[in-house]
């Protein structure tokens, strides 16, 4: 570890370190709800979730929390993924790992929902 | 950067570890690995979360779910249900009334607390300096070194009105000012972490859960008074605390926050650990200084005070762990922020270890001026098993008792002083009607008799005499005049002892006589213990043949 030389360095390190603790603060821009009921897992929700995490890591995006939820009841559309961003919740259905990757890039990070995958939307 | 979707904060304070927390953590980590979640779930070992009664504890983020009383066999269920499927395991969660999924802030035990000193405890990993820095750690040090003169730091602490948290409540800023004004090249800063009161563990928790806050406070103090070196005097009975502080020192040095030329400011300061061997008297500042110097741990005559001639006869600043832990907050947020908390003459917060006959025992931090009723009934959840509150022993073996009629007393230095007890270092033992006050007084006096260093006569010879009388009273052999005798001896010891240990040794006795004289009288006159605690049969004695014989009462 290199020594900290100035107050500026210290503040930079603080900001960097803060990112890793964001999950504990509840203060995030995007919330991802992954439906992890038995049906969801059977339909491949685990792979979707793993893809989301690895994609977030790859793109260094930590302003997010991932919450595992139970099934919405919409079993036919599993795996279901809901993204909450700027007060709007958008739900995607029949998500594959490949789709999840696109959702992370376009919707989670850049705020552009992918219309063709959307099955529902709701305002807070 | 590594992102974990779930952070599992497992309490690794000494209490939770001794309740089996380590085994649970190992089991949890094994389960997480076998479920293939090791890249998604991060286990963080934190310091004490405070509610030790409920340990071993775990808090899971982002939801903030609180799990309590965990055993290794619970790990599989939590991983399979919660971490994998997102269904918190209800049966293991803290059962807060009306809330299905309570988070820490919704549990009454935590809701009424104000955390300054313990702000990071249970939230960060104490063995990771970056987590401390992430929560604005060492920013106060940066501010001090780059934009404040030493005198300004002293003034800021004076303005905040911070009082020493070790017990006596001396104004910290004033003490810093004395040391700063000494003209001497070599000055020292000592942190008194020799916490010895029975049942008290506030300092241990800070050392174990957030060691960097202490280091930061000490370095700031070193800069303010112009010291070259600091010592942390900690008891050897706190192995985990010693380990974590040593690690914190190593990390701080590696980051250039300790050692020579800190943050390129030209200021150099280093800190070393000294371990005490468990003598209670070494918590007294001059005895502690003797012990660091390698001498016998006995108090010195005052004056000279440590601020003029302390360690190695050099000007020395000596403060308690909790006092130092307040310093980064005051510097970072300003004296005005600090003064808003607490009362006018006792600003800030105080950490108490809440123990005894109360539903939720543990470590709490409350704003000064809070009433005892709020502590016992709101935070502590009341008295268990339908019993009623009888009294609270505050200040450990140097303190006194607060009886039920003073339940609404404000907890601050002046109010406690007015009823003959002291704030002390933070031991708070709650008693219900099954506790015998004479027995409690005897317990604490026995402790001080054993811990007296024997240097001065009143403490060495006086306290055993008092203990003898108490033993007589509690075994049904009390005599008229015993109470007056206790009071007189106690007063003499307080006035004539050399150090704080002796001066305060008789407090528990005098205070219980003041508020519960009727209990003493019924022990003596009716030979009855109202709480049925004391064995009122006269003590059996052995005769020459080794046979037990009863002491025969004079007709």
Give the tens place of pLDDT for each residue, B29-87. 999 999 888 888 888 888 888 777 787 888 888 888 888 888 888 999 999 888 888 88
pLDDT on residue B537 = 66
Residue A19 counted as domain residue? no
Q: Which carries the bigger pLDDT value, residue B108 or residue A124? A: B108
Q: Residue A66 and residue B86: Cβ atoms within 8 Å?
A: no
C-alpha of B344 from chain center: 23
Closest CB to B264: pick one of A5, A24, A38: A5
- In tens, the pLDDT along B362-408 reads 889 999 999 999 999 999 889 988 889 999 999 888 889 999 999 99
Q: Residue A6 and residue B263: Cβ atoms within 8 Å?
A: yes
Residue A2 counted as domain residue? no
Residue A107 counted as domain residue? yes
Chain B: residue whose CA lies nearest to A62: B3
Q: Across all residues in chain A, what is the average pLDDT?
A: 82
Distance between B50 CA and the closest CA of chain A, angstroms: 18
Strand, coil or helix: B240: helix
All residues of chain B having their beta carbon less than 8 Å from the beta carbon of residue A20 are 1-2, 130-131, 134
A3 — contact with chain B (CB < 8 Å)? yes
All residues of chain A having their beta carbon less than 8 Å from the beta carbon of residue B137 are 14
If one counts every other C-beta atom within 10 angstroms of the C-beta of residue B181, the result is 14
All residues of chain A having their beta carbon less than 8 Å from the beta carbon of residue B130 are 13, 17, 20
Q: What is the CATH number of the domain that holds A116?
A: 3.40.30.10
CA-based nearest residue to B427, from B178, B151, B143, B203: B203
Interface residue of B49, B89, B100, B134 to substitute, partner A, most A CBs within 10 Å: B134
Q: Could you give the C-alpha distances from B426 to B198, B390, B395, in angstroms and in order?
A: 11, 19, 6
CA-based nearest residue to B351, from B248, B204, B242, B213: B204
Strand, coil or helix: A8: helix
- List the Cα angle B476/B477/B481 in 5-degree steps: 120
Cβ-count burial of B547 within 10 angstroms (0-12 exposed, 13-18 middle, 19+ buried)?
Answer: exposed
Measured CA to CA, the distance from residue B9 to residue A21 in angstroms comes to 12
Mean pLDDT of A55-81: 80
Q: All domains of chain B, ordered by start, with CATH?
A: 6-111 (3.40.30.10), 129-340 (3.40.50.11540), 349-432 (3.10.20.600), 437-525 (1.20.1440.230)
Q: Residue A10 and residue B263: Cβ atoms within 8 Å?
A: yes
Q: Three-class SS string for A13-52?
A: HHHHHHHHCHHHHCCCCEEEEEECCHHHHHCCHHHHHHHH
pLDDT on residue B489 = 95
Residue A5 counted as domain residue? no
44-103 in chain A: CB under 8 A from chain B: 46, 49-50, 53, 56-57, 60, 62, 65-70
A41 — contact with chain B (CB < 8 Å)? yes
Strand, coil or helix: B188: strand
- Residue A2, pLDDT above cutoff 80: no
Measured CA to CA, the distance from residue B203 to residue B234 in angstroms comes to 10
pLDDT on residue B541 = 53
Q: Which two tokens stand for residue B79?
A: 């991983």
pLDDT on residue B107 = 74
Strands (E), B126-228: 188-193
Measured CA to CA, the distance from residue B433 to residue B390 in angstroms comes to 5
Measured CA to CA, the distance from residue B148 to residue B218 in angstroms comes to 16
Q: Number of A:B CB contacts under 8 A? A: 108
Q: Residue A17 and residue B39: Cβ atoms within 8 Å?
A: no
If one counts every other C-beta atom within 10 angstroms of the C-beta of residue B111, the result is 12
- Would you say B182 and B313 are in contact if contact means Cβ atoms under 8 Å apart? no
Residue A8 counted as domain residue? no
Measured CA to CA, the distance from residue B361 to residue B373 in angstroms comes to 15
pLDDT band for position A1 (cuts 50, 70, 90):
low
pLDDT on residue B331 = 95
Residue A16 counted as domain residue? no
Closest CB to B63: pick one of A60, A67, A70: A67
Tell me the angle at which helices B463-474 and B482-496 cross, rounded to the nearest 10 degrees: 160
**What residues in chain B have per-residue pLDDT under 50?**
none
pLDDT on residue B44 = 87
Residue A22 counted as domain residue? no
Q: Could you give the C-alpha distances from B71 to A31, B276, B303, in angstroms and in order?
A: 31, 34, 54
Residue B81 C-beta-side C-alpha neighbours within 13 Å: 11
Residue A56 counted as domain residue? yes
- Would you say A79 and A44 are in contact if contact means Cβ atoms under 8 Å apart? yes
Domain extent, residue A67, equals 32-123
The count of structural domains within chain A is 1
Strand, coil or helix: A82: strand
């Amino acid at each position: 570890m290199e020594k900290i030389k100035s107050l500026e360095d210290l503040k930079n390190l603080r900001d960097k370190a803060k990112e890793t603790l964001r999950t504990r603060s509840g203060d995030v821009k995007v919330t991802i709800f992954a439906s992890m009921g038995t049906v969801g897992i059977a339909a491949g929700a685990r792979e979707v979730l793993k893809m989301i995490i690895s994609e977030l890591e790859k793109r260094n995006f930590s302003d997010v929390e991932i919450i595992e939820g139970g099934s919405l009841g919409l079993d036919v559309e599993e795996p279901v993924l809901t993204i909450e961003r700027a007060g709007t919740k958008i739900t995607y259905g029949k998500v594959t790992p490949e789709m999840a990757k696109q959702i992370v890039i376009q919707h989670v990070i850049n705020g552009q929902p992918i219309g063709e995958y959307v099955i529902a939307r709701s305002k807070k | 950067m590594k992102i974990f979707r779930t952070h599992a904060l497992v309490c690794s304070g000494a209490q939770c570890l001794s309740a089996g927390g380590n085994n649970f953590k190992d089991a949890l980590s094994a389960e997480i690995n076998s479920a293939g979640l090791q890249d998604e779930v991060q286990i963080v070992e934190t310091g004490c979360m405070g509610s030790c009664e409920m340990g071993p504890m775990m808090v899971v983020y982002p939801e903030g779910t609180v799990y309590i009383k965990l055993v290794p066999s619970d790990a599989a269920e939590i991983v399979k249900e919660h971490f994998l499927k997102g269904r918190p395991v209800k049966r293991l969660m803290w059962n807060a009334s009306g809330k299905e999924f309570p988070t820490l802030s919704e549990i009454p035990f935590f809701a009424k607390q104000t955390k300054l000193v313990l702000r990071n405890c249970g939230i960060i990993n104490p063995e990771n300096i970056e987590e401390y820095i992430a929560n604005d750690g060492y920013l106060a040090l940066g501010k001090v070194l780059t934009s404040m003169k030493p005198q300004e730091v002293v003034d800021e602490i004076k303005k905040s009105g911070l009082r020493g948290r070790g017990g006596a409540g001396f104004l910290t800023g004033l003490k810093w000012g004395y040391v700063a004004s000494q003209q001497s090249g070599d000055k020292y800063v000592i942190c008194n972490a020799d916490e010895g009161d029975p049942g008290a563990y506030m300092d241990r928790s800070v050392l174990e859960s957030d060691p960097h806050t202490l280091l930061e406070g000490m370095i700031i103090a070193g800069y303010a008074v112009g010291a070259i070196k600091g010592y942390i005097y900690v008891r050897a009975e706190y192995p985990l605390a010693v380990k974590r502080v040593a690690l914190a020192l190593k990390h701080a040095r590696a980051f250039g926050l300790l050692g020579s030329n800190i943050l390129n400011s030209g200021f150099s300061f280093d800190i070393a650990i000294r371990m005490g061997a468990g003598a209670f008297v070494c918590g007294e500042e001059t005895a502690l200084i003797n012990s660091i110097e390698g001498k016998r741990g006995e108090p010195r005559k005052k004056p000279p005070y440590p601020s003029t001639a302390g360690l190695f006869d050099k000007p020395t600043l000596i403060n308690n762990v909790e006092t130092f832990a307040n310093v980064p907050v005051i510097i970072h947020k300003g004296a005005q922020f600090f003064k808003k908390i607490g009362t006018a003459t006792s600003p800030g917060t105080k950490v108490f270890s809440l123990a005894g006959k109360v539903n939720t025992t543990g470590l709490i931090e409350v704003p000064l001026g809070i009433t005892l009723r709020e502590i016992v009934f709101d935070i502590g959840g009341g008295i268990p098993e339908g019993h009623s509150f009888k009294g609270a022993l505050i200040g450990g073996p140097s303190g006194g008792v607060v009886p039920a009629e003073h339940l609404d007393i404000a907890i601050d230095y002046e109010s406690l002083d007015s009823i003959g007890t002291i704030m002390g270092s933070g031991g708070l033992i709650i008693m219900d009607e099954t506790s015998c006050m004479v027995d409690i007084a005897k317990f604490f006096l026995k402790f001080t008799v054993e811990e007296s260093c024997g240097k001065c006569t009143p403490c060495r010879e006086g306290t055993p005499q008092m203990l003898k009388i108490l033993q007589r009273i509690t075994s049904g052999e009390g005599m008229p005049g015993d109470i007056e005798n206790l009071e007189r001896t106690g007063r003499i010891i307080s006035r004539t002892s050399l150090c704080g240990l002796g001066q305060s040794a008789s407090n528990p006795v005098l205070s219980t006589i003041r508020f519960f004289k009727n209990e003493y009288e019924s022990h003596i006159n009716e030979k009855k213990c109202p709480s049925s605690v004391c064995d009122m049969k006269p003590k059996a004695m052995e005769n020459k043949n080794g046979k037990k014989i009863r002491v025969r009462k004079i007709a």
